[in-house]
């Protein structure tokens, strides 16, 4: 047997990488399916696992490999096809399955893919479970858990998953309220929400202009969706729409656009929802969980309302962990992951959009009006493609450039330099009171990062 030592396939958000390259190989997915089967069968007896995916061409590879691995270990699989990540979490609970798996690389290009695993409640698995699966795979430790010939698992196609998820999402919107007076530009990023998202808004009587609803396996997130909201900005003006909604490839994050074609990111949306829930006494413990990337203006705005801000590491799984730890029901990221634990166990772009639209209707306000109370600090983010990820604290030139900028900003700004957990990118964020200063400072640090570890 191969000894388990530094074998690693999981990152900060499941397994992710370039499809057909390690770790996103069909043989790794097969072994992962077997490891999941062994782990869950040991804990619950004969397990059932839901498997969903987005619209990437490579999803077929990993879907079949995972099903083969799971069934070989005696696990029954429930295949739902393309469905948003939060939809898979919901279906996992609705079918009382023991786990759910999503095949998606979220906002990444089509050539990347990933595998995320939920527990029976729809929460992402903790690190120690991932460590145990890695150990099982590294040691090829399956033989003692193989089922009898008659107990091999079977795969079933779930044909009503879309409809069940649509009804669930609509249930988070007031029954006596309608979107009939709103016109919406909706961009589904040619991703997992391309079928269900338009139906949700149309069934609630909105006038919907759809974009990014013709996936071909290669165009997911390509010039569209939450990573490219400029297409929705243009469409809002062209159609004189009330609001624009941009989802990402697996529809767990959202960026909105107001009627003036101004971008409304996750921080602003979170602030709008926090203020509304606070006024109604629905914000449990008056706490909101954000991240180290959350805008200082957002944090100050919450504090002015008497709302406590909990700072989490970047990544929706860490936001959710801190929400559970601090007994909070609302949390999110600037990138557009918004988690309403009263409704779902992970970020849900469609649910988040409905909460904002509800507030617009209840307050008879435009999105630009709701956004106006939030005074954003100028912030610049520069993404640097890198060739390696050595510990940043060991890179003296980068540390010196960070300290130099921090001294220039003083107490009125901040610097954050961190590696992406899912891509070969170093993110340089600078925040302060003057836009020109933060842009210059962020680019100066980014230049040093390129020199030290940039991709040649």
Is 106 considered catalytic here? yes
Structure tokens belonging to residue 194: 């391309």
User: Distance between terminal CA atoms of the chain?
Assistant: 38
CA pair distance 227, 421, nearest whole angstrom: 17
Task: Report the DSSP pairing between strands 76-82 and 15-18.
Answer: unpaired
Find how far residue 335's CA is from the centre of its chain. 8
Structure tokens belonging to residue 327: 């007994």
| Active-site annotation holder among 104, 106, 226, 246 | 106
CA pair distance 419, 77, nearest whole angstrom: 35
**347 DSSP 8-state letter:** -
**CA-based nearest residue to 332, from 302, 370, 372, 367:** 302
What is the DSSP annotation of 357-384? HHHHHHHT--HHHHHTT--PPPEEEEEE
CA pair distance 353, 348, nearest whole angstrom: 9
CA pair distance 258, 366, nearest whole angstrom: 8
| Three-class HEC string of 175-235 | CCCCCCCCEEEEECCCCCCCCHHHHHHHHCCCEEEEECCCCCCCCCCCCCHHHCCHHHHHH
Task: Report the DSSP pairing between strands 15-18 and 308-312.
Answer: unpaired
CA pair distance 253, 118, nearest whole angstrom: 17
Task: Report the DSSP pairing between strands 76-82 and 155-157.
Answer: parallel
Q: Tell me if the bond preceding 23 is cis, omega within 30° of 0.
A: yes
Q: Quickly tell me which residue has 């097969």 as its tokens.
A: 30
What is the DSSP annotation of 244-273? EEEE-TTSS-EEEE-TT--EE-HHHHHHHH
Q: Which residues, in sequence order, are CB contacts of 178 under 8 Å at separation 6+?
A: 204, 205
Catalytic residues: 106
């Amino acid at each position: 047997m191969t000894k388990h030592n530094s074998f690693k396939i999981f990152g900060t958000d499941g397994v992710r990488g370039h499809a057909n390259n390690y770790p996103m190989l069909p043989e790794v997915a097969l072994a992962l399916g077997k490891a999941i089967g062994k782990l869950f069968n040991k804990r619950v007896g004969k397990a059932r696992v839901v498997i969903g995916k987005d619209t990437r061409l490579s999803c077929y590879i990993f879907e079949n490999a995972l099903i083969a691995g799971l069934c070989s270990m005696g696990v029954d699989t429930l295949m739902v096809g393309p469905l948003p990540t939060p939809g898979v979490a919901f279906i996992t609970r609705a079918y009382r399955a023991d786990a759910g798996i999503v095949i998606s690389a979220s906002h990444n290009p089509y050539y990347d893919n990933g595998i995320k695993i939920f527990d029976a409640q729809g929460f992402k698995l903790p690190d120690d479970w991932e460590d145990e699966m890695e150990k099982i795979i590294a040691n090829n430790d399956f033989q003692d858990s193989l089922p009898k010939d008659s107990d091999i698992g079977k795969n079933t196609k779930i044909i009503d998953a879309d409809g069940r998820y649509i009804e669930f999402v609509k249930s988070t919107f007031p029954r006596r309220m309608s979107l009939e007076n709103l016109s919406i530009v909706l961009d589904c990023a040619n991703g997992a929400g391309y079928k269900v998202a338009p139906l949700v808004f149309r069934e609630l009587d909105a006038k919907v202009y759809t974009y990014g609803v013709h996936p071909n396996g290669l165009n997911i997130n390509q010039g569209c969706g939450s990573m490219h909201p400029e297409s929705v900005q243009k469409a809002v003006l062209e159609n004189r729409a009330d609001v624009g909604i941009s989802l990402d490839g697996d529809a767990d994050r959202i960026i909105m656009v107001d009627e003036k074609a101004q971008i409304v990111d996750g921080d602003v949306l979170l602030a709008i929802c926090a203020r509304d829930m606070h006024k109604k006494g629905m914000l449990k413990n008056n706490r909101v969980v954000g991240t180290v990337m959350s805008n200082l203006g957002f944090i100050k705005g919450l504090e002015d309302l008497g709302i406590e801000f909990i700072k989490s590491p970047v990544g929706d799984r860490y936001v959710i962990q801190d929400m559970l730890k601090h007994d909070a029901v609302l949390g999110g990221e600037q990138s557009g992951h918004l988690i309403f634990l009263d409704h779902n166990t992970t970020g849900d772009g469609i649910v988040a959009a409905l909460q904002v639209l509800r507030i617009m209707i209840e307050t008879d306000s435009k999105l630009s009006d709701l956004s106006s109370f939030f005074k954003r600090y100028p912030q610049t983010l520069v993404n640097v493609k890198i060739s390696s990820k050595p510990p940043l604290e060991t890179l003296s030139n980068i540390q010196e450039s960070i300290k130099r900028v921090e001294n220039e900003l003083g107490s009125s700004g901040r610097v954050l330099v961190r590696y992406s957990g899912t891509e070969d990118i170093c993110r340089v964020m600078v925040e302060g009171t003057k836009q020109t200063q933060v842009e210059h400072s962020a680019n100066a640090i980014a230049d040093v990062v390129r020199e030290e570890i940039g991709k040649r």
